[in-house]
A and B are shown apart, each in its own frame.
Chain A
Amino acid sequence: MQQDNSPLPALLKILAKLPGVGARSSRRLALHLLKRKDAVLYPLIDALSTAATDVVSCRECGNLDTVDPCGLCTDPRRATQQLCVVADVADLWALERGGSFKGRYHVLGGLLSALDGVTPEQLRLDALVSRVKALGITEVILALNGTMDGQSTAFYVGDKLAPLGVKTTRLAFGIPIGGELDYLDDSTVSTAMAARQLL
């Protein structure tokens, strides 16, 4: 390998900082890019550069888009008085892939965590309260992780919304589609039992 100031180690170092990529994967990625400059490397450079200049965070909901406010916030068909609260843009995308929600979103920008030092001030909570009022929202759906942090954030948001009198719901906990009862942990089974529905 070349000296430290040459471009290759710098490339490897920055690739290794990407989520899910370690030292070995960064070497594979770098080789792949450099062997296929026309097919992969130059298009990637263009895409990254465009994304860097054009993609912005929506001032309304916190989604990422090339316009601000984003396409979801300005889509008149999505003015349904339902607002879905998610922790991150990745969760918003997951719900969009599911395709069943037709209302608007609100990205908090993380989950409360005393241990990781994520405080209520760092989340877009005040913006959430103002949007609920301004948009005439009738139902806030909390689509947060089932983790410890997700649960405390859900309770916290619920508490903040309580004075507004808006209906607040959260996604169901239970048996995953295609899941086998026998393999589920006990608390999931008992939660699913408590949340059972009429056939």
Chain B
Amino acid sequence: MPPSAPRIDHLRLVQFRSHALFEMETDTASLVLVEGANGTGKTNILEALSLFGFGGRGFRNAATMELHREGQAAPWGVAVTLDETRYTLMEAPGDTRVFKIDDSIQKSTPSFGEAAALLWLTPRHDRLFDSSAGDRRRFFDRFVSAFYAGHSGHLRAYDYRWRERRALFESGGAVDATWRRVIEQSLAGHAVAIAAARNAVLAQLQRWLAEPLADFPPASLALLGWVEQRCGELPAVLVEQELLERLERGALEGVLLPHQADVTALHLGKNAPAHRCSSGEQKAVVMAWLLAEARLLAAEQERAPILLLDEPFTHLDVTRQGALLEALLALGCQVWLTDCGTLSAPLPAATKRLKLAA
């Protein structure tokens, strides 16, 4: 971990979700623990930070209007100071938001840019391996996007072309052959770019998954997708051609396209697929996956992430809770955690604690 791991040192929320005004200093601690009973607004604090992550809509994928304080019309605002740079996101008239870095207004999606990537886990991810392929795919793609900034653009373009292709067939009447070819050529190009990026990131991730921190279980991931598999066997140009031919012939039976791909995990300690493991073990594998992502980002990109972990201690026994805290400290990057009283392991001395009252 580079010594310059980014640290958020100040956070201020105004009229945001359950908080009329919330302000805190972290003293640039590496562990920030937000404690409180249910309904005290712990998750809202992490959500506010997640607005600066991939996609710009946070981990609840909330629209601007939804972020209002309940029953209030006043505009909401979030201000974060990260390594002496101030990032502000405010609601503006017309259901829009204004993003500022220090005092200058940015046209881009809210993000800490090169300064820090955000990775997060919420209780939704506890059952990731029992969930849909789409959930796992999106979880993985979010990370691939942190690695390759162009990935999300390819995903959006691919999705657009796929919907266009479907609309073309559903429009009734004869399909214009030229138009169809234009759409399918573009679709195939984006599909191969997506698959190649996924493969490249997965290969790098495996190394870190095989050597987990503390006593997290070693795991391995596998991508189930036709384009991903072919990209491992043939040069990209040939895969693109093959996919295009299949699209033209409509020969897609049994072909898992990039928007249908799945990511499966193997718990190497038990040599069992993650979805067959207990809920505590599943959670440990998801956590090991996220920790591997964080270590890979820090090692390969020198862009240490900031982690947001919402209720990470549930389903974990005291030993695993201790192991998680140990692993997070070893990681060296800043981690924001919430806890509603399930933590029984002792906290590291340097933790910044904040207790929210009901």
Contact = CB atoms under 8 A, between A and B. Distances in A.
| A and B associate | yes
B182 A114 contact: no
Interface in A90-131: 112-115, 117, 119-120
- Tier of interface size on chain A: 20 to 34
A151 interface: yes
A115 B179 contact: no
Interface size band for B: 20 to 34
B150 A114 contact: no
B150 A186 contact: yes
Interface string B149-169: 110010001001101110110
A156 interface: yes
Interface string A141-183: 0000000100110011001100000000000000000000001
A51 to B, nearest CB: 29
A187 interface: yes
Contact of B108 (A112, A117, A183): A183
B186 interface: yes
Contact of A114 (B94, B149, B178, B183): B183
A2 to B, nearest CB: 27
A185 interface: yes
Nearest to B177: A159
Contacts of A148: 157, 160-161, 186
Contacts of A187: 150, 153
Given A112-B179, A120-B179, A185-B153, A151 B186 contact: yes
Contacts of B150: 185-187, 190
B112 to A, nearest CB: 14
Do most interface residues of chain B lie in helix, strand or loop, or is the interface mixed?
helix
A120 B176 contact: yes
A178 to B, nearest CB: 13
A117 B176 CA distance: 13
B186 A160 contact: no
Nearest to A151: B186
Given A120-B176, A120-B179, A183-B108, A114 B171 contact: yes
Contacts of A113: 164
A113 B179 CA distance: 10
Contact of B182 (A22, A155, A183): A155
B44 interface: no
The 7 closest A-B pairs by CB, nearest first: A114-B164, A114-B167, A155-B182, A186-B150, A186-B149, A114-B168, A159-B178
Given A113-B164, A152-B186, 18 more contacts: A112-B179, A114-B165, A114-B167, A115-B167, A117-B167, A119-B179, A148-B157, A148-B186, A151-B186, A152-B179, A152-B182, A155-B186, A160-B178, A185-B153, A186-B149, A186-B150, A187-B150, A190-B150
6 contacts: A113-B164, A114-B163, A119-B176, A148-B186, A151-B186, A159-B181
Interface of B: 94, 108, 149-150, 153, 157, 160-161, 163-165, 167-168, 171, 176, 178-179, 181-183, 185-186
Interface of A: 22, 112-115, 117, 119-120, 148, 151-152, 155-156, 159-160, 183, 185-187, 190
